Structure 1
């Protein structure tokens, strides 16, 4: 007879204690992971300030972070690179949270912030600003892009909730696809008939942090901050929603309210990011998958991980674009597309993700 067979059976108290210890270990590992993500963000922030078309020694850039001595290097660091870096953090946080929210609300792991027509609505606002209002500055584009994103998302939600029943994830996705197709056709028609508007629009449409300074950061900051607070307030209800609408209601979640507030947070976050930097793809798609791989499906961890890892990816791509193409630079939208396309293909090939 084996020694294992002679061992006394585990009591209920011992089993509960083991489960508590396992939960404590998982919580500790997740906290260390968050600290590691925050440290990585700090590293890419410093690199973003130190690396650029104008070569500035790292020690000089580091010292200029804390003082402005009036030199050319200090002007570059304080007037150009620091605002650009702060905007990159804001855009990254917004896209990461918006992507995690979209995937949680639609229960679709391939969803991204453009699924509700937010990106296309922002693009339509910029097209209208250029073609009909004659605006030519990024600051002017920001407000029109925000209005376009908000209007498109409201229309998508109204279409998705029209008729019998509530605004289910499937209906929202279909409404978003229809709205995106309509707005894309409108934008194409306007730009083809107005070559000057096309020339101005294509620079915004690439997705870039270049040329976006404090005058762009400040207008979008309140919208991004409001969206971030709203998203973090929905962490616990989103866990109930992930089990389905009926079970979510049984657990006490107000499904319609949670979904409506979630859509509002996506509008604020993605609208602010797209208005400031243009449409940047794959950040909101790929980062939540990394967050779930590290922290599991609990939205109380997925959202904080996403808001830290997304700016790491975005600023890292921006630094890579500046370093690889020096003395010029590659727009961050091109770099994230280059990095994100293989991730998207891999996700589509995974049977358990791609299957309905």
Structure 2
């Protein structure tokens, strides 16, 4: 059944343009519903239920267009290219990147400006965007630490080694010298990045652990002096006003009468902050994971500017090819960041390209200034 009564435009025979648009909407809704069902097939529990609910909502939208089309439904059309690509990815991967793409797809809905779509449908699409954003957030938190290290490592390897190779190459050094310098920069940079990420993430996790309430705080709750109510001091120390702190502490102490033991569900400050700290730990990632990602991606990125020299190219040809290869890689990393962050992939890609080429270009000019022109 349709989501709402048909709009006024349905009271007269639709134009060919309307029919074409409605049929495309119908195809897109069917394709989006299939995406959510495919994603649900790779999930369990609550995430699966949420995705199936989204698929059901798309089915309701599909019914709206079927009602409007009536006998003009015709042969089923294919969804647009983006939705079909999303479906292909969902069937094969089902990753956070697919959810991020689905989030952008929901944000692009044109129902708000289409007179033939209902206000309910337009509102649904906006809410769907937030639902998918919430699902994607879970995956983003799980990979954010390692992903940050990977992106930072890859970009640093691409830009720093391209700048190094171009600077040395522009100075007129021999091809063997440029190659050796590039390989040395790759190894030294990868080791430095890996070690730096390990120390950085390890230190951050230790700081978070130092701020996490100890388990003994929960066990002490049943033995607190109810009249003194020192639990309120804990809440005040964490930023609550005296009134709110006392109210919250009284609530916790009252709950002790209904909980068999403190470990079985007392809604203590320790539990609340522990939960928050676990989320923070998850978003930071593990020290070894960040170090490994940083090392591998730095090395992979730093290898690209060296490839032309490994294959025997030299002079301007090697410089141009190295720059083009690095530019392609920068566009890819920028696109990946844009997709995962839910931002415009093209803008992120061009930003990465501009920053990378800017840094490498400055080093190349310095090489020309202090050395000899490449032959």
TM-score by length of 1: 0.29
Larger Rg: 2
TM-score by length of 2: 0.28
Q: More relative contact order in 1 or in 2 (CA 8 Å, sep 6+)?
A: 1
